[in-house]
Amino acid sequence: MVNWAIVVGINQYPARAQQNPLNGAVADACDFAEWALDPTGGNVAPERLFFWTYPWPAPSPDRLGNYLAGPLPNWYHEQLGAAQPDPTRAPMAFEITTTIEDAGRAAYASDYGDNAAERRVYVFLAGHGIRARTSERNEETCFLAGDFAPPKGNLTPGLIPCDSFRKALLHKRFSEAILFTDCCRSTTARSSLTARQVSDFDGEPILPWSIAFAAQDGEPAYETAAAPIRGAFSSALMRGLRTHRPGPLGDLHADPLRDYVQASIQDFTNSGQMPNLLYRPDPRGPLIVPGRPAGGGVVVNTPNLDGPSLDVSALALGTRLVLKGGDLQPVKGIGPFTVAGPSMVLPSLPIGLYAVEVNDGSGRYTMFAQPSQGAIRVE
Amino acid sequence: MSNDPTNVRPLYRLSLTARPGIAIRLLNASFQEIARSTESLQTQQPEGLYLVEWSSAGQRSQTMVRLDADHDGTEIAFDPSDRETDSALEPNASKKAALVDAVSTAISRSSTSSIVMIVSIEENVAIDVQDLSIGVFDRNDIMMRRTSDEVPFLELSPRERVYRYDVKPGRHYIGFRSLLGENLGQSVPVLAGRQTLVFLTVSQTNLIVANGERFGEEMSIGVDPVKTVVITIRGDEENYRVRERVRLAGMLLHDLTNRANSLSNDVVSVLDDELTDPLLRLYGALVALLWFERREVSLSGDVTQDDVATTPAQTWVQRIERWISNAGQLGLPTDALAALWKLARLEPTAFGGEVVVLWPTRLETPPMLECAWRWAIEESVLRPEAVRGTAVVTATARSSGGTSPWLCWRQSATKARSIPGAIAGNLNRDLSSLVSDVARKASRLVEAAQSMPRALGQLEALGTEVQTTALRSLQATFPTMDRSATADIKQMAISLGLPLTQLRKRLARTSKALDVAVATLNAGTDSAVVSAKSLRAPSEAPGLSRPVDDKEDPQKGRFGGQHRRGGFELWASFNDAGSRNWTSITLGVTGPGADGEEVQFHLHDSFKPPLAVRRFKGEAATLKVTAWGGFTVGVWIPAKAVELELDLASLENAPDIVRLR
């Protein structure tokens, strides 16, 4: 498998786009690019990574910093044909779609046939989004690129219909497409605002794909409330990509990634935001990232996961509590605890299922999953 | 290595039960899957904590389970249908499981047919349902009278309203105002002796609108068409059964939208029952067809797919045909016919000529569902007469899309039929030649523009339809090793949502529009690049820059509201077009215009294009159009800077088809 990636993050849109500035989209894109360049992550060679954020990121000593300091692959340019990404502005819709579609087309043309290498493309788009009608009669979630502006005719520039983009990537270009979009889906464009066509669409491909949206259809996406500000979805996604390896070989498919991100996003926002991830083929979806051979099916846990909060206001002061793990044995080194107030915070715990037992002979217990959503009421 | 029996951990029994179509996954405490099934799962596991995941139609619920000596033999049942209402339902899981089969039975048979609209208003949405323009129409566009506001068998939530229409069996359509503020239509079947229940959901959304150089936002409330569910019942069935059927229908409709497949064995067993709601069975047939279409596998023989239930005794062709039932049955939606056509195309050897000859040969009303419309379009590429150009079908071709799984059309898109003479020469040409012609002209523009994005910008000046059709034509004529011309035309027709007859007209219009652009290009001597500005109308009517107040009648109030001004008069006369569907209208402007001076007629936006230009000759300019319904005509005479406006529906001499629609 040979991997490509295109990574875009836009915090600041031109005035004509009339979009509020964001704070986390660029950081999210940098984080994803860092993961993409990691041989144990996305495993994308620098010459196959197309990266563009606005503002442009500050120099850094990591993989992305080294990448940005070196020669960058050219992007499609309307006047010049090809050019380096312009750090003084956000990329336009055509630049995003044509750059990676041309790369895929070239790879397909040079390596075609039964023995051709598999080609996976990662797409990461962070910024604003709306729902809009496309010229091909569909209504889709559209990412807002840097040229988003009120239309002079009936077609609105600067919109990337995500699902159509996905189909185009699989049309004689890549053999697998993995898309992540961290943008709102809550605002709908009136039907007169049709998205200008930016890809060549061609039916429903049967190749493997997954497409992740930050929120459910019609719902907004949020950034984290506390610094460093990031997209809540991207935060959960990146933690999942880096740490969640539930497969027998430590691999991560779309299905368990969806489960993880849906469960984990509550650690980054209390808005009720619920990501959506669609994929083919059933039941697991494509392989998002292979695990290390030594992974052995062990869940790799996040070291700094916050400990869960317990609401113990229904219990008498002095009540003893025992924390048990998934095997119903007391968790070593943690507890037992004594209720000394209406609430308590447990130490950081690995991801998994737990039970808090009331140690008074009543047999009462409360089960919870870590990471947990809000305070766990123990009665 | 030793096998010490004392180290064997005791196992405890766990029994999980769900409704048909709900997938069950059992995960261990590390969230690793250890078992999965549908309908029920019996397992034995060591002491510990477990997570049960129930999923269906993109929705998931989770239940944590503890297994130990005190919890051996734990039974858990999951039933989302009892969460839809406040009604007290049987708490015993095993009895609920028995209701799997009850989905297909009825308490009493009704001798009448009706459409019952159940309008559910989402929380925090405030609207008077009267403002949603909800109605039922017959195939002649006659609005049906509401019979009552009650359905005693259904327990309504406080946010649900119900409207019942007793109607004759047949194909009807419902109308409603959508979330985007458009009045949409959607086919709804009415079967003899059955009630059709249409569940509509009213939502609100933030709409972004362009106003000159600015974007604006407005809150819009209306029916969200993608959330609609349609089922039928035979009599006054009890609330729980109705809700469970709605759940199953919603699951299959979700499949149709997302090209998923919930046809597990438990669902198939429900659909195999001949007493099951014919609409549910039809939805199941469409899901199966979509699946096989996408997988490109044979439907005949003993098909065994990893995630599609099969029985060795029958092929999927037979099963799908049985689920579809009799496509000619009174009231059954035309989706059934489109599905049979698709089935016969996928598996041509499975049907003898004597079977096919029994099927209706053409479709006169749009199907309910988007996928069936696509299949009907495919059939029209092989047999153009397969889709008849009725007013509603034409409106569907013009305005449908974006409401998957349902096929909805703008009700006002039925108004226009044609402007005679606009494209006459091209309508008799061979379709492949027409596509090549459009592609050749588009290629010329692309070459001149030197890049596809720039060419797109220039094509944009010719309108959305022209741009999209031109680009599709370019794709169709790219040399490919694995596609025939018919396949290309089929793909083009599907992507544009146009049956063959409408595709031909679209291509003819596009060819004509590109003629203008190419002529402009050829006339340019200094620059090879076409100026987008040069492709625009030379003198744009001032009315077009005024906001549209009435989305269903876009020219209303934009041309001054007067049909007489400055010595000029705009008038209309009506002629019998020889059809109950269409009326021929002659529009005319008389007044002191010099011969050759331009008169712009701005029509309803369902006319393509909505602008027709005529020139004065003998102080008169006329335009003949064919339409189904009234609309406002705006006129702009550039040489005299005169605007005129006439609402055809307000004219006393207008026929009912114009005044009342």
Query: Considering CB atoms only, which of B32, B70, B295 is closest to A297?
Result: B32
Structural contact between residues B406 and B228, judged by C-beta atoms closer than 8 angstroms: yes
**Which tokens hold the place of A86?**
């312009």
**Which tokens hold the place of A312?**
């113990």
* Best residue in A188, A190, A216, A329 for a mutation probing chain B (most B CBs within 10 Å): A190
Q: What is the bridge-based pairing of β-strands B195-211 and A187-189?
A: parallel
Query: Considering CB atoms only, which of A156, A200, A326 is closest to B29?
Result: A326
B502-507 long-range contacts (CB < 8 A, ≥24 apart) are: B502/B389, B502/B394, B502/B397, B502/B398, B503/B431, B504/B427, B504/B431, B504/B434, B505/B423, B505/B427, B506/B465, B506/B469, B506/B608, B507/B426, B507/B431, B507/B434, B507/B435, B507/B438, B507/B469, B507/B473
- Whether residues A78 and B451 touch (CB distance < 8 A) is answered with yes
pLDDT of A319? 93
Q: How many CB atoms lie within 10 A of CB A261?
A: 26
pLDDT of B654? 84
Chain A nearest CA to B533, separation (Å): 11
pLDDT band at B422 (very low <50, low <70, confident <90, very high): low
Chain B nearest CA to A49, separation (Å): 23
Structural contact between residues B112 and B234, judged by C-beta atoms closer than 8 angstroms: no
* Alpha carbons B23 and B236: distance in angstroms, whole number: 30
- Whether residues B66 and A365 touch (CB distance < 8 A) is answered with yes
Average pLDDT, chain B: 81
Among B625, B623, B622, B543, smallest CA distance to B584 is for B625
Nearest chain B residue to A95 by CA: give it. B453
* Tens digits of residue pLDDT in B15-34: 999 888 898 989 999 888 88
pLDDT of B104? 47
pLDDT of B80? 77
Nearest chain A residue to B48 by CA: give it. A327
Q: How much helix, strand and coil, in percent to the nearest 5, is found in chain A?
A: 20, 25, 50
pLDDT band at B98 (very low <50, low <70, confident <90, very high): very low
* Tens digits of residue pLDDT in B215-237: 888 889 999 999 999 999 987 67
Question: Which residues of chain B make contact with A257, given a CB cutoff of 8 A?
Answer: none
pLDDT band at A21 (very low <50, low <70, confident <90, very high): very high
pLDDT of B402? 87
The answer to whether B142 contacts chain A (CB < 8 Å) is: no
For residue A225, pLDDT beyond 60: yes
Chain B nearest CA to A189, separation (Å): 5
Structural contact between residues B459 and B442, judged by C-beta atoms closer than 8 angstroms: yes
DSSP string, B229-265: EEEEESS---HHHHHHHHHHHHHHHHHHHHT-----H
State in Å, rounded, how far the first CA of chain B is from the last one: 86
For residue B508, pLDDT beyond 80: yes
The answer to whether A338 contacts chain B (CB < 8 Å) is: no
Q: What is the ipTM of this complex?
A: 0.81
Chain B nearest CA to A63, separation (Å): 32
Of A153-167, A302-316, A357-371, B158-172, where does mean pLDDT reach its minimum?
A302-316
Q: Write the CA distances from B383 to B354, B361, B388, integer angstroms.
A: 18, 9, 11
Which tops the pLDDT comparison, B611 or B82? Answer: B611
Radius of gyration of the CA atoms of chain B, in A: 29
pLDDT of B427? 59
* Tens digits of residue pLDDT in B539-587: 677 777 676 777 778 888 889 899 999 999 999 988 865 566 678 889 9
Chain A nearest CA to B78, separation (Å): 19
pLDDT of B96? 38
User: Which residues lie below 8 Å from residue B355, measured CB to CB, with a gap of 6+?
Assistant: none
The answer to whether B461 contacts chain A (CB < 8 Å) is: yes
DSSP state of B596: T
Give the A:B interface size as CB pairs under 8 Å. Answer: 162
For residue A170, pLDDT beyond 80: yes
- Whether residues A325 and B295 touch (CB distance < 8 A) is answered with no
- Coil, strand, or helix at residue B95? helix
B449-453 long-range contacts (CB < 8 A, ≥24 apart) are: B449/B529, B449/B530, B450/B528, B450/B529, B451/A78, B451/A81, B452/A98, B453/A78, B453/A94, B453/A98
Handedness of CA B317, B322, B328, B333 (dihedral sign): negative
pLDDT of B526? 41
The answer to whether A355 contacts chain B (CB < 8 Å) is: yes
* Alpha carbons A310 and B196: distance in angstroms, whole number: 50
For residue B331, pLDDT beyond 90: no
Q: How many CB atoms lie within 10 A of CB A183?
A: 27
* Alpha carbons B475 and B520: distance in angstroms, whole number: 24
Question: Structure pTM?
Answer: 0.82
- Whether residues A137 and B400 touch (CB distance < 8 A) is answered with yes
Chain A nearest CA to B257, separation (Å): 11
- Coil, strand, or helix at residue B634? strand
Query: Rounded mean pLDDT of B599-623?
Result: 86
- Whether residues A259 and B31 touch (CB distance < 8 A) is answered with yes
pLDDT of A126? 98
The answer to whether A133 contacts chain B (CB < 8 Å) is: yes
Query: Considering CB atoms only, which of A194, A201, A355 is closest to B464?
Result: A194
Which tops the pLDDT comparison, A173 or A115? Answer: A173
The answer to whether B61 contacts chain A (CB < 8 Å) is: no
Nearest chain B residue to A250 by CA: give it. B32
The answer to whether B51 contacts chain A (CB < 8 Å) is: yes
* Tens digits of residue pLDDT in B269-313: 899 988 899 999 999 999 999 988 876 455 554 344 444 454 444
**Which tokens hold the place of A263?**
């469960």
For residue B103, pLDDT beyond 70: no
Residue type at A378 in one-letter notation: V
- Whether residues A353 and B260 touch (CB distance < 8 A) is answered with no
* Alpha carbons A9 and A56: distance in angstroms, whole number: 9
Structural contact between residues B321 and B299, judged by C-beta atoms closer than 8 angstroms: no
For residue A347, pLDDT beyond 70: yes
DSSP state of B352: -
Query: Considering CB atoms only, which of A81, A137, A218 is closest to B497?
Result: A137
Omega of the bond leading into B189 within 30 degrees of 0 (cis): no
pLDDT of B295? 65
